[in-house]
A and B are shown apart, each in its own frame.
Chain A
Amino acid sequence: MTDFNAMIDALVACDGDRVIQLVNTAITEKIPADDILNKGLIAGMDIVGGKMENGDMFIPEVLMAAQAMGKCVDILKPLLGEGSAVSAGNVIIGTVKGDLHDIGKNLVSMMMESGGMTVHNLGVDIEPEKFVSEIKEKNANIVCLSALLTTTMPMMKQTIDAIAEAGLRDQVKIMIGGAPVTQAFADEIGADGFAPDAGSAARLAKSLDA
């Protein structure tokens, strides 16, 4: 019986070598790869996200934990069942047109991937039409919009409007974030949710997807 708690603890402690060692041990013990991923790694990253949200863990630590997780996922990949890695959510994420900030969006993307979601990171300066076409192409059910400038916040509304005009509004939940963005703004422009940091963004995405 593998102790997933040890794996979770090692991940939360950002001890990459230990996590990899525990994953390898679990594989030799014939623990199903899906269990290692879901009950060990993703469960661990959920805790990391929560600690980030509470200010108990910080970005450099979250990056270390996510990197350790990434290495483990590479080890597990050949062993995972078809499609089993996609436990929740098919996400399109990007920074809206006119805005070139990428760090926050990349952190959110990383936390969602660590949470087992499939994330299509479109990059920065993304036009509303591009979001629309990507939703169709990737058959996404969650769209995350980032803006770090008061001058590009209106573009979030334009993007949501474009998604609605394309008839895709019911297909997707839309989340917004970025330093000047607030819950009130999210309500005003008809977004489904707002998250103040990457940890809570991943949690919110899961709750919207559920």
Chain B
Amino acid sequence: MDLPRMPDLLPDLQSPLMLKSEEGQTMFEVIGERINSSRKKVQEAVTARDTEYIINDVIKQQEAGVTFIDVNAGARIGHETEDMKWLIDTIQPIAEVPLTLDSPDPAVLEMAIQMVESIPMVNSISLEKERFDAMMPFLEGKTCKIIALCMDDGGMPISSGDIIGRADSLVKELTGIGFAVGDIYIDPLVQPISTDTTKGVMVLDATRGIRAKYPEIHITGGLSNISFGLPQRKIINRTFVTLMMDAGMDSAIMDPLDDKIMSTIKTANMLLGNDQYCMEYLKGTRAGSIVS
């Protein structure tokens, strides 16, 4: 009896669903949301210029496998420029991954983007007129990745078609000023299931639609909105991310130090055929970061 050759057992590496890394494996890209001055401890550290706290946090995120470190200095009103500068100065020397520069202010972003060493991500543009008009001139000619929110002046999207239509507009505008589709991270905007039980299916359908239209695009977003207003939120968030990954989400803005959701993502990534020889999964189990 012939044993099956290993390559026959491999996942379909030609699948267009997600971008492959150089090794031919899909990366689920985790945008670490921890360095945000609206979080109490970060705000204290920023105010006190506590370099050690910030460095330790970033190192922990990197050890956990973060893909981008989001940096948001917006919470101390009137201090954003100096706080952003200090944060980047603090993080840059130890950063092993690119930064996500998180501000609505083009002037802050302009300063920040000059400071970073590897190609950053910018968080974010949307179709809200004021933000769109401010961000487009800044983005034109820049080399960066961009998070694009499916938000417009009408408010949150009301159907999967609405989300896809907004994604279409964002892709059209951003590719129009020279962005590659693969540098765009669409955020379809996850909405709470507690106030309307159709909101899960709505964003899942939209994610499938966007993925089918734009195989190279990234689809990201915060996950925890889904569980607003319900108890035991983390089980909802974890279950939701696996459904979203099947629909075509390949990135999330989240806390990489949440072991349980990180191990869920790695496991789902394997089950979706994106972990060659199950190596990342096995590595995780041996390191003790993936447990049943």
Contact = CB atoms under 8 A, between A and B. Distances in A.
B22 interface: no
Contacts of A106: 195
B243 interface: no
B38 A59 contact: no
A58 B236 CA distance: 14
B155 A100 contact: yes
A58 B194 contact: yes
Contacts of B229: 58-60, 107
Interface residues of A, number: 19
A107 B231 contact: no
B192 A59 contact: yes
A150 B195 contact: no
Contacts of A101: 156
Nearest to B72: A150
A125 B130 CA distance: 12
Contact of B156 (A98, A100, A151): A100
Contact of B195 (A55, A59, A98, A153): A59
A106 B104 CA distance: 26
A154 B195 contact: no
B155 A124 contact: yes
Main secondary structure of the interface of B (DSSP, over half): loop
A102 B156 contact: yes
B104 A151 contact: yes
Contacts, number: 46
Given A59-B195, A180-B75, 17 more contacts: A58-B230, A59-B194, A60-B194, A60-B195, A60-B230, A100-B128, A100-B151, A102-B156, A103-B192, A103-B195, A107-B195, A125-B153, A150-B75, A150-B77, A151-B74, A153-B77, A180-B38
Interface of A: 55, 58-60, 63, 98, 100-103, 106-107, 124-125, 150-151, 153-154, 180
Contacts of A102: 155-156
Looking at B74, B153, B192, B194, the one whose CB has the most chain A CB atoms below 10 A away is: B194
Looking at A103, A154, A180, the one whose CB has the most chain B CB atoms below 10 A away is: A103
A66 B93 CA distance: 54
A63 B195 contact: yes
Nearest to B128: A100
10 contacts: A60-B229, A60-B230, A100-B155, A102-B156, A106-B195, A107-B229, A150-B74, A150-B77, A151-B74, A180-B75
